[in-house]
């Protein structure tokens, strides 16, 4: 896989909700702080998107897609200065709504938006979210064309429910999220620091791809520099400036994230995980793991199991709350 696919797979985004808003006339909706990522696309009409901590509102037009990775409260308004209504209040006022459905307000027909809300069930979500701005806005005509098929299919699934439609809509929402991140990456992302910005640089991307393709290899700066077509010293300096850490630090951190995933999602022994990631001894692996992750591999595994049980209870409570809201 490529690095973006690697990271998304490791974080395991799962659709928490998917659906849409179909608004007729004027409306302003205030959304609360959220976990995970929200990704939506505007099918028709226009909205103003304003967010806490972002000075200027963003005008969204038909075909635009936007990703909200930071979880900040935000507002969608057909008219910028209109008085907002709380999103939960709006859901209470639309009895019969279900997960995967459409909230229709004032008869709908003027402003239609579809998308999904993804919770990142993998650990260390900040490796993706910290590299993104508060609002990722996809608005170029060529980019809209790339999103159109997913958008049209999701609109059809929501408006014309069929057996298995909820699952199809969730996968389409996930596809929209990946496409939006890919298009954002294609913009070049000049001036930022982090692995996502580095993927927009062909030389740095070559080195990162090499590490992701074979994390167990005993990479040297000379080898990585050769992949990038650079001298060792120039490569080392540029990697640190672009990614925010040295190439060896990045490699170690990526290995430990892979190890954390194996510790929590497989029955592999620690010694086997260590060997598969290029460590000759379990003790050397454990030392590196504790330095990066803040605890030993065994402590990490035990902590994850406790958190999973707690999270499952919280998710059940949340599901009951959503059913109550849906009426």
| Cα–Cα distance, 18 to 96 (Å, whole number) | 16
Structure tokens at 178: 């990946």
CA angle 206, 217, 275 (to 5 degrees): 145
Number of C-alpha atoms within 13 angstroms, CB side, residue 224? 29
Q: What is the reported pLDDT for 314? A: 44
Domain boundaries, given as residue ranges, for the chain: 3-186, 195-302
DSSP 3-state of 38: strand
Quick one: 3-186 is in which CATH superfamily?
Regulatory protein AraC (2.60.120.280)
Give whole-number Cα distances, 282 to 150, 180, 277, 296, in Å: 46, 40, 11, 11
Please provide the CATH number assigned to the domain covering 195-302: 1.10.10.60
- Give the DSSP H/E element, type plus range, for residue 85: strand 85-86
> Which residues, in sequence order, are CB contacts of 276 under 8 Å at separation 6+?
216, 262, 268
Domains 3-186 and 195-302 share a fold: no
Structure tokens at 4: 């973006």
Q: What is the pLDDT of residues 70-111, one digit of tens each?
A: 889 999 999 888 889 898 888 777 654 444 478 888 888 889
Q: What is the pLDDT of residues 151-178, one digit of tens each?
A: 788 878 877 878 888 888 888 888 888 8
pTM above 0.85, yes or no: no
Q: In the chain, which residues have pLDDT < 70?
A: 15, 94-100, 121-124, 188-193, 304-327
């Amino acid at each position: 896989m490529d690095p973006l696919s690697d990271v998304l797979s490791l974080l395991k985004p799962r659709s928490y909700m998917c659906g849409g808003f179909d608004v007729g006339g004027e409306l302003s909706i205030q959304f609360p702080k959220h976990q995970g990522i929200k990704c939506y696309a505007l099918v028709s009409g226009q909205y103003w998107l304003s967010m806490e901590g972002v000075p200027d509102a963003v005008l969204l037009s038909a075909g635009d897609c936007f990703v909200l990775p930071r979880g900040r409260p935000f507002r969608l308004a057909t008219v910028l200065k209109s008085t907002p209504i709380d999103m939960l209040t709006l859901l209470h006022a639309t009895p019969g709504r279900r997960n995967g459905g459409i909230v229709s307000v004032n008869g709908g027909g003027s402003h239609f938006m579809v998308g999904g809300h993804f919770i990142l069930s993998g650990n260390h979500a900040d490796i993706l979210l910290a590299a993104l701005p508060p609002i990722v806005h996809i608005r170029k005509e060529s980019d809209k064309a790339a999103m159109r098929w997913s958008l049209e299919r999701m609109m059809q699934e929501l408006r014309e429910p069929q057996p298995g439609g909820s699952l199809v809509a969730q996968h389409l929402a996930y596809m929209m999220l990946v496409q939006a991140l890919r298009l954002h990456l294609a913009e070049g992302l000049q001036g930022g620091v982090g692995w996502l910005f580095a993927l927009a640089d062909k030389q740095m991307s070559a080195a990162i791809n090499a590490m992701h393709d074979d994390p167990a290899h005993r990479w040297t700066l000379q080898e990585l520099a050769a992949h990038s077509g650079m001298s060792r010293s120039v490569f080392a300096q540029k990697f640190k400036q672009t990614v925010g850490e040295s190439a060896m630090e990045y490699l170690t951190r990526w290995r430990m994230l892979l190890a954390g995933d194996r510790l929590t999602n497989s029955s592999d022994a620690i010694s086997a995980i260590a060997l598969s990631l290029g460590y000759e001894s379990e003790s050397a692996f454990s030392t590196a793991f504790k330095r990066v992750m803040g605890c030993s591999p065994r402590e990490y595994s035990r902590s994850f199991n406790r958190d999973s049980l707690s999270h499952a209870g919280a998710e059940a409570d949340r599901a009951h709350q959503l059913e109550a809201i849906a009426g």
